[in-house]
Amino acid sequence: MKDFISPPALQKGQTIQLISTARKITKEDILIAINIFESWGLKIKIGKNLFNESGQFAGTDEQRTEDLQNALNDPETSAIICARGGYGTIKILDSIDFNQFIKNPKWISGFSDVTALHTHLQKLNIQSIHSTMPICFDTDDAISIESLRKILFNEEIKYYFSPNSLNRTGFCEGIVIGGNLSLLCNVIGTESDINYDGKILFIEDTDEYLYHLDRMWVQLKRAGKLKNIAGLMVGQFSKLQDNGIAFGKTIEEIIFEAVKEYNFPICYNVPIGHSNENVAIPCGRIATLSVQETEVSLIF
């Protein structure tokens, strides 16, 4: 078992580029993030079309494609920071030429809708960062932003999480993959679909109906994605909705039903996802996950 290819660590004085592959954003939305990135000694480059608008999107599909392609190919750009999620990343992936990027990988970070880009990079065996985004910097806990900095600058990553009564104890080692449940299901059967076997999987989601979440967990199971994973980290499932006729199960009960026949370790309520505490995860990197009654650790 080997790590996926890791992009070079950032150095002070290098340039990062801010783009949006999904929803529109304003300059005011990212001012706090720009100040923080500059305090890290980094230079900021703004994607040509970042502040464009086309409906809810940050420009047309063609404009967002142009920004991602330019950032991938730009020799002066050492990392690409997705400014926000929403919806739209999956619409442009098949229009991107990754050949130059494969020859000269660079860190790409983001979460939520950016999950589709993460899985595509995992298909290319290149690491990326599931992390907070500039749109969230004004409400993030310090660990969310600091953990992103640590991965970008190749510092040690160790996490210790509180125990949960629902956890299934155990120990495993594997390459860490995952992201937003809706997007993980959305890429099944596409060029961005990935192999889950032997991997430590983390999953989060937000603003979904309980019955829809149940349907997606069933889809993962029917697609064979769950049966051979090494371990499961259940992130934040926030702002959940229900129908007038209640679904009758909590998100924890939905997940338990989907995985009850397997015996890999599981930890719940991990601070990954749509919450103020959203720790950064280097997708495609080997880690050890230890789920014990008193503590959970994830060590890369």
From 120, 144, 204, 275, active-site residue: 204
Burial pattern 225-236, b for ≥16 Cβ within 10 A else e, equals: bbeebbbbbbbb
Tell me, rounded to whole angstroms, the distance of Cα 156 from its chain centroid.
Answer: 19
From 112, 131, 144, 290, active-site residue: 112
Q: How far apart are CA 300 and CA 297, in angstroms?
A: 10
List C-alpha distances in Å: 103 to 5, 64, 72, 106: 11, 22, 11, 10
Tell me the torsion sign for CA atoms 54, 56, 59, 63: negative
Angle, to 10 degrees, between the axis of helix 210-222 and the axis of helix 251-259?
A: 10
Q: How far apart are CA 109 and CA 7, in angstroms?
A: 12
Q: Where are the beta strands (DSSP E) in the chain?
A: 15-19, 43-46, 77-82, 107-110, 128-130, 158-161, 170-180, 200-206, 231-238, 266-267, 281-283, 286-291, 296-299
Q: Is 112 one of the catalytic residues?
A: yes
Residues with Cβ within 8 Å of residue 292, at least 6 apart in sequence: 163, 169
From 120, 192, 274, 275, active-site residue: 274
Catalytic positions, written as ranges: 112, 204, 274
